[in-house]
Amino acid sequence: MSQQGAALQSYNNELVKCIEELCGKRDDLQKQILSEEEEKQKLQNDIRILTEKLAKLNESLAKKVATRQEYDKTIAETEAAYMKIIESSHSLLNVLQREASVLKDKGVPGFANASTS
């Protein structure tokens, strides 16, 4: 019976040792879980902050793009109007030169040098 008691004691010791190892592994795993949950919270906070920054940046970009489009439109309209002024000035100059030439040909005094000045 003493042999059976010794075997039982050996099994008991082995069982306690296995339970302690399992508890140690569980504790290590719990530490890893807590660490990863903390990292997850940090990343979620970072994502929230970056999402807010992205939204503000998108809003700013949209306003700036709209303003740039207004500039482009104003510049295009101004250039078109300026080209019309240049064309009108050219046409006016041609008419004036033609009229001066006609007056010169008619011998109107004071127009003899009009085309050379």
- Number of separate domains in the chain: 1
Element at 88 (helix H, strand E): helix 2-105
- Statement: the pTM of the whole predicted model exceeds 0.75: no
Is 74 within a domain?
Answer: yes
What is the Cα 18 distance to its own chain's centre?
Answer: 58
pLDDT tens for each residue of 23-78: 999 999 999 999 999 999 999 999 999 999 999 999 999 999 999 999 999 999 99
Is 76 within a domain?
Answer: yes
Is 116 within a domain?
Answer: no
pLDDT tens for each residue of 5-29: 888 899 999 999 999 999 999 999 9
Q: Report whether 81 contacts 89 (CB < 8 A).
A: no
